[in-house]
Amino acid sequence: MSDGRRPYFFCHLQKTGGSSLIRRLQRHFGDDRVYPRDDAEIARRAISVPDLVARWSKGGGVDLVAGHFPLCTRELLGGGFVTFTLLREPVARTLSYLQHHRRLTPADRGKTLEEIYENRFRFNAFVHNHMVKMLSLTSDEMTRGALTRVVFTPDRLERAKAQLATVDLVGVQESFDAFCAALSARFGFRLGAPVFVNRTEPVLATAAFQRRIAQDNALDVELYEMARDHAARQSH
Residue-level pLDDT at 150: 96
Helices (H), the chain: 18-29, 42-45, 49-57, 73-76, 90-104, 113-117, 120-122, 130-136, 154-164, 176-187, 207-216, 218-234
The ranges of the chain with pLDDT < 50 are 1-3
Reference 16, options 82, 113, 92; nearest CA is 92
Query: Is the residue at 220 inside a domain?
Result: yes
Query: Is the residue at 236 inside a domain?
Result: no
As a whole number of angstroms, the distance between CA 179 and CA 181 comes to 5
State the distance between the two ends of the chain, measured CA to CA, in whole angstroms.
30
Q: Please, are residues 156 and 148 in contact by the beta-carbon 8 Å criterion?
A: no
Query: Is the residue at 2 inside a domain?
Result: no
Residue-level pLDDT at 101: 94
- Is the peptide bond preceding residue 36 cis, with omega within 30 degrees of 0? yes
Residue-level pLDDT at 77: 96
Query: Is the residue at 150 inside a domain?
Result: yes
Residue-level pLDDT at 236: 62
Residue-level pLDDT at 159: 98
pLDDT in tens, 153-186: 999 999 999 999 999 999 999 999 999 999 999 9
As a whole number of angstroms, the distance between CA 156 and CA 71 comes to 14
Query: Is the residue at 3 inside a domain?
Result: no
Reference 126, options 170, 90, 154; nearest CA is 90
Q: Could you list the residue range(s) of the whole structural domain that residue 140 is in?
A: 8-230
Q: Measured between alpha carbons, how far is residue 70 from residues 5, 23, 103, 137, 145 in Å?
A: 23, 20, 26, 7, 7
Residue-level pLDDT at 84: 98
Residue-level pLDDT at 203: 80
**Considering its fold, how many domains does the chain have in total?**
1
Residue-level pLDDT at 30: 95
- The C-alpha angle with vertex 8 and arms to 101 and 26, in degrees rounded to 5, equals 60
Q: How does 84-107 read in b/e, with b if 16+ C-beta sit within 10 Å?
A: bbbbbbbbbbbbbbbbbbbeeeee
CATH of the domain at 110: 3.40.50.300
Query: Is the residue at 54 inside a domain?
Result: yes
